[in-house]
Structure 1
């Protein structure tokens, strides 16, 4: 009987991200979100951080050679259906990740790559050595989707005065799609997320929830990457990722005073 049962399997997302010891953001958020929406995370840690649910105190990049070796061993055995990149730690790590992506795409030209352009913590602590914008710049042109929030979009595109121009700037560098997240917007009741792609622009409106959350960007980008890994087209993956992320925020919980943790395991 057992031998005739169909073996269960999941699509895998190769994840490059930092370790957040509070468990709210970074690789912990990636693993939970990807698993919750039906895929499996292959986590490669790019940096060891010192932080709690509110503040980052230090970022210690992992050696680029270790990151490369981990990814090569994983990809040599396990089929990779998508890649998700969070903080890279430094420029050397970004270059190493880019080489891994290039190697994967030699065999899978359409491999989805989601780049969450995390430049700093909510309180402004830089999440890479030197200038974070410079550190991650080698990966923008490789991205199927780039997911900056409003402050990050301004930093990445300092001369662009509105979200459309910011998206056009990133797409001119090679990014296929851009999702600009509106959580830092001024509307007290709603959050507006804007998707820009080759076929134009689409906007989603979400109810702004009370309080502040730790790891929202990681949660959303990873969910979208997991849906792309499972074969969904971009618009559908964006839609389902946002619906799921909103539900996780509605089920957020506290571990201490300050930012709440999205209820990723409760969805």
Structure 2
């Protein structure tokens, strides 16, 4: 069964409409962080998150040419409405809606948002910072795709000594096989997991996952599906990744 009929993978307006409908059904609050060329950048808060319960943070759509991540997050949410009603979630469904519409990595200004999350005055990342500041988080999941990937893989930033990523990758492997390269994007990898024990010394800018980690989120996982693979398979892998994280990672 096709998850995205009629080639709507880059229809940001349709994606946002679906999230608004889902939020009403699940009793979640929709915040507009900012407007970008008449499109809202929205954030979703479950009722438990609004009450201050430590939340799972989920985001996608930072890069507009990674449609499988954005639609995978929505597909997971539509499948797990009851979980959204009960548990604490902070969700950024599509931080770069113009990029999604144009099928480009960059935003409407030509910026890579994933190098600007430290910028307090940025038109998108500034409001994002103000939204998450002071929010208690269990973990953060940043959903992405990679043109060069040969399978699924993830980056892990974790305060704990034990790596969480291998079990999660194993639970996703029935949907898409792991990328088994020993070096991915210049980083040492094992079984589709890149564990960062220390932050890179020199960055051209601050990625979302690292900014979250520096703000106290104890564990961040950046998940990558191969953007050259079948779209429905990528969406299914993103759904399974979120499910696996919620199965494996501690409740508090």
Query: Shorter chain as normaliser: what TM range?
Result: 0.3 to 0.5
Larger radius of gyration: 1
State the TM-score, normalizing by the size of structure 1. Answer: 0.36
State the TM-score, normalizing by the size of structure 2. Answer: 0.38
Q: Which has the higher contact order (CA 8 A, sep 6+)?
A: 2
